Structure 1
Amino acid sequence: MKEFGYQRATDVSSALALLHGGREARFLAGGTNLVDLMKTGAERPAHLVDVRALPLDRIESTPDGGLLIGATVTNSELAAHPEVRRRYPALAQAVLAGASGQLRNMATVGGNLLQRTRCGYFADVSAPCNKRVPGSGCPAVEGEHRHHAILGATAHCVAVHPSDMAVALAAFDAVVAYATTDGPGALPLTEVYRPVGNTPHLETALPPGALITGVTLPPAPVAARSRYRKVRERASYAFAIGSVAAALDVRDGAVQEVRLAFGAVASRPWRARAAERALRGAQADGKAFAAAADAELAAAEPLPHNGYKVPLMRNLVVAVLTELAEEAAR
């Protein structure tokens, strides 16, 4: 690990000033991703600005009935919060599925959303990688890609976003607030992550030097009956090979409202809007659930060794929605 500078910020304005005052500076919160990448050399910041002590560590109800989640709230605090568990249970389930207790105690909401891909070629500085070194190539396309993207990828990058939390937040129309030296701003979470295109090294639409300050969840009655289901290759904590965040409102056997987002299939959390459109007003049964999944996955372009993800995601959607529909009928 190369030598780096370190300073601790006590408020948002000082954090922004310290970042802009240091060359190749990065914000540091829990460090559960950034520090690992610094050890491998995939990340080489010259300066770290510690934002862990910023007063952004609260979860509060908003006047309209939503929730405001501060950026330095830990994953453990988020998963255990009674209002999160009551109003957005899939979010709590996603956080608990994401990592061990030790990591959840350190990791923060803001840092979780900005974690980098776990693609082995990205972490290996001896390998080419367009995310790490633009224009160097993407060896995963013809190499090891069993865990890689089937939606929205290009020849320039087939890596997937690793966050479980972000998948649930995407399903519930979360909005990410940030601060810059020019003032505050906000983006829907689904617009925070840029499409891969031919610039996979440009991962977010956040302004340069922006500091995430919080995430707002708008009121969503449908979210009270929601579920996050993650498939991984081992029972212990591991990154997903496919996941679904789903919420369902069924009345008189028909789907009134539905939310669906997929994880581990694209470079960003994948909001399944085609599937949602197919389901609204449809009968809440396995046939309709399968047809909706097929409508979303029609755009899939699997590589030779990750085609299994298409039936996996189809079956996952049907299973989770069927469970939610059966609960609604009780």
Structure 2
Amino acid sequence: MSSESSDEVEEVSSSQGQAKRKKTQDSKSSSKKPRQFNPDWLNENKHPKFAKWLMLKLNPQTGENQAFCRACALFYQNHKGDLEKHVDRTQHKQNMEKFPELLKQQDRLANFASPLRDRITNLELRILAHICENSQSVCSAQGMLEVMQTEGNDLIFKKATLGYTKAGNLIREGFGKFCTQQTASKLKKSLPLSHFGVTDRYALYNMKVDDYWKAVLSTLNPCGEPVFPNLTECMYLLLCLPFSNASAERVFSHLKEVKDDKQNRQETPTTDAILKAKFWMLNEEKSASKIQFPKELVILAKNVKSNAPIIHE
């Protein structure tokens, strides 16, 4: 009996010891913090072996920022020892011999892609400008592009796309915003900021209309005389003129062309942007085939997401 009881005690004590050791190991593993990437590794003076090929990049598999070898296209743990072992590997040494040529190829592709993208954006804008100028349907943009693609062998015709969603977004976020900015800048750029009591144009653009004209008409020179006497008289005369709806009727006439029975489901922001683009080209006295698109408009168009959903305000 005594031998059996002692065996049972030994088994219980050994199982308890294993449980304690396992618990200790689990606590140690859970207390370990993930290693952080050391920015000094990118310093060529401190770590010349790492700086040329090492970078910090998000690993899509782990969701963490890890050390990345640009020559081998491999992720590594943020551990200096692992990186030093990677430097001594034969495959890494072979890839580093080809790495300078790889960087040159990437630079050439980047320099080629940038002007190509600008040409594609200009082509897409020119087609949409033609549509806005002639009050055509936005749906016809892709059809016009496909006709060009059948006749032209240039790469820009193959890369350009103008589906209905992308065309609408380009008109709203490109032409719409650009024309609004141009109109605001022309109205407010001619007067210095000091007349309005502001220090930057952002504050000037956000002024209320009443405050804007009050600042204009109430500005006095050191002698106490109005700075803009002619403008003040002109505003008084304009306010005395009888109201005329000719401009509004003219806009409605263009609206009937833009939003007819076949395009009765067209979004209001799209219609507004088409009319703005149309009147902008009329004011510039140039057609869609001859007008030069400003850099601001091209930047706005390049930042437009082609598949962005329409947000109703």
Question: Which structure has the larger Rg over C-alpha atoms?
Answer: 2
TM-score by length of 1: 0.18
Question: Larger % of helix: which?
Answer: 2
TM-score by length of 2: 0.18
